[in-house]
Structure 1
Amino acid sequence: MVSSITRTQGGNHADSTCKSDQLEKDIAGNFGLNSIALPANPLFGTDGIRGRVGDLLSAPLALQVGFWAGVVLRNHASQPGPVILGQDSRNSSDMLAMALSAGLTAAGVEVWYLGLCPTPCVAYLTSVSDAIGGVMISASHNPPEDNGIKVFGADGAKLPPALQTEIEAGLRGNLPFTGVGHCGRHYGRSELVGDYSAALKTPLQNVVNLQGMKVVLDLAWGAAVGLAPSVFTEMGAEVICLHNTADGSRINVNCGSTHLEILQATVQQHNADLGFAFDGDADRVLAVDNSGRQVNGDYILYLWGRRLQQQQQLPDNLIVSTVMANLGFERAWRQQGGNLIRTAVGDQYVQAELLRTGGMLGGEQSGHILCRHYGITGDGLLTALHIAALVKVAGVSLSDMVNQSFQTYPQLLRNVRVMDRDRRLSWKDCEPVQQAIALAEAAMGDAGRILVRASGTEPVIRVMVEAAEAELAHHWTNELVSQVQQHLAI
């Protein structure tokens, strides 16, 4: 599988140089001195740079991000290599990808352009090739008018904060410019997506096939439309597809992992064994069982964790999740002799904790699942294949497996739109909100849990209340949302 991931013939620096004194002067002037307007707050959030196209994200910004990302990745690389570039189906993704490629090649870096592909595909190919980094153009589960830029290091992991800071320093004119001397080249390498597809199937092909299973896939008009159906079909499943063309104007709209209603109805209509809903870049997935019931990341972690635990492949019986993990999941897992560590919300924090502890399985309730036995990053397609295989091997329905696992505590999550970024990020300094949280926590005691946080990817403050009784959860959710709206959303 890795054998085809080699340098493009004719793509070496000797054949692609365009040295001149004027070139270096032009690059220095255009990228180092003529800075574009940037917000005062950091550009990189919990999942790269993300925002509304035309407001934050533009071709000039992408051009400079590409250039400075190329400079930083090249400066920290042990040897020369390409940057792998992929994108989702958003209407703005072509524009941003081409601008990024222009910036990367201006920094003297060779670009391998995959075109439409899932985010985990970029991460995987970066990790197994001689690439010095990877870039994915996507805003994940966000609406079509948003987009984002995710940067990966040479190991396929998300770029460390220190290197993100270096890129941003370059954008703000605070990184010394050392000259380039040559231009890189841009190559179309869509054939490499096949190597990622093979890597997904290989661990399972000699263990199980999915023959006899009927699976419904909701592709959300996004990055997995060409790949997921073929992978499941090649594994033997009968596949029914929803929203399975690349449509940037409808990506994530009333479909995919944020809107399961159509998938649930289709699973029941076709008497399918299970269904999977991906987000726009397919780095996360939620499942639907044969009864049409949602199976979220907590259940996926529990069921996969039990399987790995039985195979003695789960060090310290550890699962890493986030503060959003349901109390019902945590208590059931501990009853099975398991350990659970919670992190802040964001798959990068889960991954960091897995690396720190030596853990092999972790993820988020929202469907970002990381299993280090098989992948290096959250991967919706990989997760879906393994859950389908788990059901096939067990010989019982997914509904039965869920029924025998645990009962979730009623958990309500409300998003309050707060457009003022400063107010949103400083919500902890709002005394009335803090007083309301303290009152709710004292009233519920051990019977519930509260989490209020500013989203790292959207202009909202998220209010989550979990309680043993639904009435209690509803009451305190309404109280806290009211306080946030009154004091922060003005």
Structure 2
Amino acid sequence: MADLATHPVGQPFSAGVSFGTDGIRGLVGGLMTPALAMQVGYWGGLVLQGEGPVLIGRDSRSSGWMLSAALEAGLTAAGREVWNLGLCPTPAVARLVQQQGAAGGVMVSASHNPPADNGIKLFAAGGSKLARQQQELIEAGLRGELPAAANRCGSSHQRSDLLAIYRQLLREGLADNQLSGRRIVLDLCWGSATACSSELFRSLGAEVIELHGSPDGNAINVGCGSTHLAPLQEAVRQSGAELGFAFDGDADRVLAVDGEGRLVDGDHILFMWGSALAAAGQLPKQLLVATVMSNLGFERAWRSGGGQLERTAVGDQYVHEAMQNLGAALGGEQSGHILCAHHGLTGDGLLTALQLAALLKPGESLADRRNQSFVSYPQRLKNVRVANRERRQQWQQCDPLAQAVARAEAEMAGEGRVLVRASGTEPLLRVMVEASSQAVVDHWIENLAAIAERELNH
């Protein structure tokens, strides 16, 4: 493990640290160390524009305290004033950076990753994710390619009180009794959602049943939350609830289930929310932005109703960029990371859950809305572990795998598709097959995953 004493602030740290699709993320004690966090804080403090404070939040991981303290040390060494929000959702940092006129923000979280991992996400003034150019400057600083400034003495303040403002921002436009009479199950994933989710839903009149409802850094994301829906589905069915929501570790995404325990994923949420906005005249060009992972059934149903759909690469930053460029009001990912321009273009699981629940009219259930949306094409995703980063990133150069993908697409002849991509945060190659027939999906997903495993790991 790197030693703080051997890496004075502002000195060259590592040539191998870079920002992925969602910040810097890795195993605590491996890539993620206090030394790295301090250096990222220092260079981030120099790169951020403006003179306002820098906000720091964290999820419930046990390593969060350590890494937050190291980030504070680096930021204050760069002369920054730091406001520490403590345990909070990632979107709380982004929204409060914007609302408070802060110079930027930092979130310590590894999102949906296991407890042993952690990560650092940075936000610029205005609450948007740090631009690639600014990320590259921080990387250059870590490599020792930028001159360090003289150490300064910033200050640090505990500001958990600001979460009350965040909660009020989420409630804007919703009535106190908006969810009156609805029984809702919330899987809080032992993570960031425990900071404020249940009280928000109760303040709107909902009867709330909590799962995994206290912060636990050793259990975050383990067998629960948006990556493990079985506990939520069972609780909804057993309790007779109308719907349920499952958040990920830092609560920037959410998945829902209806009263029958059926999945309501990001595609369904985009369809339902988009339809409501279109009916209210608040969806320009009837345009939605989604990623290459979104279901063909969703796309065809949306287009058949006169809508437009723009696809991007996987990652909320690509959705965000496309929404800005196209003037779109709503976009997101199948995984439940949804962005709405009417609420600041910050992916927010709590906001999405509240807005989806509020769409339901008296006497209407989420199951009713789901039935009126679209029928998904069968789709399967398999993760193939490929430790070699170069092989993983350049999988197209593996002829046997590339040829098998071409054969699959030719045989499906427009009634299906294959998507192979390297994860930006984990040593995984993600293989997805979608087709009008489950048998075709099962055949090709097993075939392609086996080829990837064999050819890329030997």
Answer yes or no: same fold by TM over 0.5. yes
1:179 aligns with 2:156: no
Which residue pairs with 1:36 in the alignment?
Answer: 13
Conserved? CA contact 1:324–1:345, under 8 Å: yes
**Secondary structure of the structure 1 residue equivalent to 2:21:** coil
**Secondary structure of the structure 2 residue equivalent to 1:463:** strand
Moved more, 396-405 or 161-170: 396-405
Shift of residue 374, structure 1, vs aligned partner: 1.6
Counterpart CA distance in 2 for 1:311 and 1:370 is 18
Which residue pairs with 1:201 in the alignment?
Answer: 171
AA aligned to 1:467 is A
Which residue pairs with 2:35 in the alignment?
Answer: 60
1:216 aligned residue (185, 190, 207): 185
Shift of residue 128, structure 1, vs aligned partner: 1.2
Give matches, 1:301-340, under 5 Å.
301-340=270-309
AA aligned to 1:260 is L
**Secondary structure of the structure 2 residue equivalent to 1:481:** helix
Conserved? CA contact 2:14–2:142, under 8 Å: no
Counterpart CA distance in 1 for 2:411 and 2:21 is 32
Counterpart CA distance in 1 for 2:364 and 2:101 is 43
1:444 aligns with 2:412: yes
Shift of residue 446, structure 1, vs aligned partner: 0.9
Shift of residue 32, structure 1, vs aligned partner: 3.4
**Secondary structure of the structure 1 residue equivalent to 2:250:** coil
Counterpart CA distance in 1 for 2:419 and 2:203 is 42
Conserved? CA contact 1:105–1:183, under 8 Å: yes
Counterpart CA distance in 1 for 2:10 and 2:154 is 18
Moved more, 274-283 or 424-433: 424-433
1:388 aligns with 2:357: yes
1:104 aligns with 2:81: no
**Secondary structure of the structure 2 residue equivalent to 1:479:** helix
AA aligned to 1:97 is S
Number of corresponding residues: 455
Which residue pairs with 2:401 in the alignment?
Answer: 433
Which residue pairs with 1:481 in the alignment?
Answer: 449
Conserved? CA contact 1:123–1:376, under 8 Å: no
1:408 aligns with 2:376: yes
AA aligned to 2:341 is R
Conserved? CA contact 2:108–2:120, under 8 Å: yes
AA aligned to 2:71 is L
Shift of residue 38, structure 1, vs aligned partner: 4.1
AA aligned to 2:191 is G
Which residue pairs with 1:147 in the alignment?
Answer: 118
Shift of residue 31, structure 1, vs aligned partner: 2.8
Counterpart CA distance in 2 for 1:410 and 1:379 is 27
Counterpart CA distance in 2 for 1:163 and 1:482 is 40
Which residue pairs with 1:168 in the alignment?
Answer: 139
Shift of residue 396, structure 1, vs aligned partner: 1.3
Shift of residue 46, structure 1, vs aligned partner: 0.3
Shift of residue 224, structure 1, vs aligned partner: 1.1
Q: CA RMSD in A?
A: 1.5
TM-score computed with the length of structure 1 as normaliser: 0.91
The superposition leaves residues 114-139 of structure 1 with CA deviations (integer Å, 9 ceiling, x where unpaired) of 00000000000001112100000000
Counterpart CA distance in 2 for 1:373 and 1:93 is 31
2:59 aligned residue (88, 94, 98): 88
Aligned identity (percent) is: 57
AA aligned to 1:235 is L
Counterpart CA distance in 2 for 1:342 and 1:294 is 22
Which residue pairs with 2:197 in the alignment?
Answer: 228
Shift of residue 336, structure 1, vs aligned partner: 1.2
Counterpart CA distance in 2 for 1:138 and 1:38 is 22
TM-score computed with the length of structure 2 as normaliser: 0.97
Counterpart CA distance in 2 for 1:282 and 1:32 is 32
Shift of residue 151, structure 1, vs aligned partner: 0.1
The superposition leaves residues 58-116 of structure 1 with CA deviations (integer Å, 9 ceiling, x where unpaired) of 0000010000000111xx32xx1110000000011110000000000000000000000
**Secondary structure of the structure 2 residue equivalent to 1:69:** helix
Conserved? CA contact 2:257–2:264, under 8 Å: yes
Which residue pairs with 1:24 in the alignment?
Answer: none
1:365 aligned residue (334, 344, 352): 334
Conserved? CA contact 2:78–2:149, under 8 Å: no
Stretches of structure 1 that go unaligned for 5 or more consecutive residues are 1-26
Conserved? CA contact 2:10–2:43, under 8 Å: no
Counterpart CA distance in 1 for 2:158 and 2:348 is 23
Counterpart CA distance in 2 for 1:37 and 1:351 is 30
The superposition leaves residues 430-458 of structure 1 with CA deviations (integer Å, 9 ceiling, x where unpaired) of 11111111111111111111100000111
Stretches of structure 2 that go unaligned for 5 or more consecutive residues are none
The superposition leaves residues 136-173 of structure 1 with CA deviations (integer Å, 9 ceiling, x where unpaired) of 00000010011110000001010000000000100000
Shift of residue 214, structure 1, vs aligned partner: 0.6
The superposition leaves residues 7-57 of structure 1 with CA deviations (integer Å, 9 ceiling, x where unpaired) of xxxxxxxxxxxxxxxxxxxx9x82333x23442xx5100000011111100
AA aligned to 2:144 is G
Conserved? CA contact 2:106–2:121, under 8 Å: yes
1:192 aligns with 2:162: yes
Which residue pairs with 1:134 in the alignment?
Answer: 105
1:465 aligns with 2:433: yes
Conserved? CA contact 1:416–1:489, under 8 Å: no
**Secondary structure of the structure 2 residue equivalent to 1:31:** coil
**Secondary structure of the structure 2 residue equivalent to 1:340:** strand
